[in-house]
Amino acid sequence: MHITHVVENLNRGGLERVVIELVRAQREAGHECRVVCLFEPGSLAPELQDSGVEVQACGKRTGPDVVALARMRRLLARGGRGVLHSHNAAAHYHAVPAAAGLGFQRIVNTRHSMAGPDRGCRRERLYRRAARFTDAVVAVCDAARAQLADHGVQPRRELLAIPNGVRVDRYAPRHDAARGRLLAALGLPAGNRLLGSVGRLHPAKDQATLLRAFHSVHQAMPATSLVLVGEGSERPALEALVGELGLRHAVRLLGDRGDVPQLLQALDLFLLSSVTEGYPVALLEACAASLPIVATRVGGNAEIVRDGTNGRLVPARDPSAMAEAATAMLYAPAQAAAMGRRGRDWAMAEASFRKMAQRYGRVYAG
């Protein structure tokens, strides 16, 4: 089977990691794969290129760009005509017209996020139009599937839900020795409890709420530190907030890192403060690392974090609620550790990458 994946880019993120691992699994199964990027190739592109996967970019500029659309059509025409699998809205509503008449046997789209709140905006209108010419639209969680149906993308009975998966075996359970090494490397006090979060520094992730919550945690438990892993447009504002809250001694912004599995091993508690989510890979990774979790009750988070079982769910934009849940876990380490173990057990049974890849294989076959 020849499979063409179309993405916005391959910069570091959950969607992009899923696509890269899916391509690897498909090649291992004997399929021929390539990736077409709507914008730039992205920082993760070399991972595929070094293994012989073709990654090409259309160089789209801001706003309507017929030159980029024509470039995408030329790139699509050069490859095989098996499966065209686009990821998210913009990639899809560019890929569908670019592929018109080229003879692709199956067109599949995965919407990795929730639909936008304004169903009348240009992006959602173009996406609904492209969905009419799509063989299968896949949501990454039941909550997103229901919202896409409410937005009129396709009837709910025709929409599919395939949760993201991770390679659970790549994530060792957390342990104190890893925490000690990371604290020392970051110049933080030995013996501190370490909280952390992974995600791009973007308004949708709302790390400002997380920082305010940690400020309360740190006041109640001074022997705590926080690490934020990821990069993005909000970094200057978040650095300023760290200073305003008087937390420079306790908080580290680690930027874009390629060693997330090792970093997760060092944490005592994982926090996710997003105001919108699909089915976040970051939470799956935290479960795989046997971390107890405090996450906001948005999107598909509640399909991963079962409140009181492997973590706690709190309202979005509520630093007090997040701080209260985090502090309670830190004061009850045995219960928190049990939550982490239950999360890992669930991930091994339900969030494996192999299960996700098999489900996509059935979608491709029709």
Task: Determine the pLDDT at residue 41.
Answer: 97
For residue 51, pLDDT beyond 90: yes
Are residue 109 and residue 225 in the same domain, yes or no?
no
Are residue 235 and residue 131 in the same domain, yes or no?
no
Band the pLDDT of 182: cuts 50, 70, 90: very high
Are residue 15 and residue 128 in the same domain, yes or no?
yes
Indicate the pTM of the whole model: 0.92
Are residue 206 and residue 155 in the same domain, yes or no?
no
Each residue of 285-298: pLDDT tens digit? 999 999 999 999 99
Each residue of 52-68: pLDDT tens digit? 999 999 999 999 999 99
Task: Determine the pLDDT at residue 274.
Answer: 98
67, two tokens? 């030159």
Task: Determine the pLDDT at residue 115.
Answer: 81
Triad 236, 237, 238: Cα angle to 5°: 90
For residue 117, pLDDT beyond 80: no
Mean pLDDT of 162-180: 95
Are residue 147 and residue 177 in the same domain, yes or no?
no
Mean pLDDT of 310-315: 98
Are residue 141 and residue 227 in the same domain, yes or no?
no
Give me the number of domains the chain comprises.
Answer: 2
Band the pLDDT of 155: cuts 50, 70, 90: confident
Are residue 161 and residue 273 in the same domain, yes or no?
no
Band the pLDDT of 366: cuts 50, 70, 90: confident
Structural domain span for residue 132? 2-165+352-365
Are residue 136 and residue 218 in the same domain, yes or no?
no
Mean pLDDT across the chain? 96
Band the pLDDT of 119: cuts 50, 70, 90: confident
Are residue 17 and residue 72 in the same domain, yes or no?
yes
Task: Determine the pLDDT at residue 100.
Answer: 97
Are residue 156 and residue 70 in the same domain, yes or no?
yes
Mean pLDDT of 273-291: 97
Are residue 358 and residue 257 in the same domain, yes or no?
no
Above pLDDT 90, what percent of the chain?
92
Task: Determine the pLDDT at residue 46.
Answer: 97
User: What CATH number is attached to the domain comprising 287?
Assistant: 3.40.50.2000
For residue 80, pLDDT beyond 90: no
Mean pLDDT of 273-300: 97
Task: Determine the pLDDT at residue 116.
Answer: 77
Are residue 82 and residue 121 in the same domain, yes or no?
yes
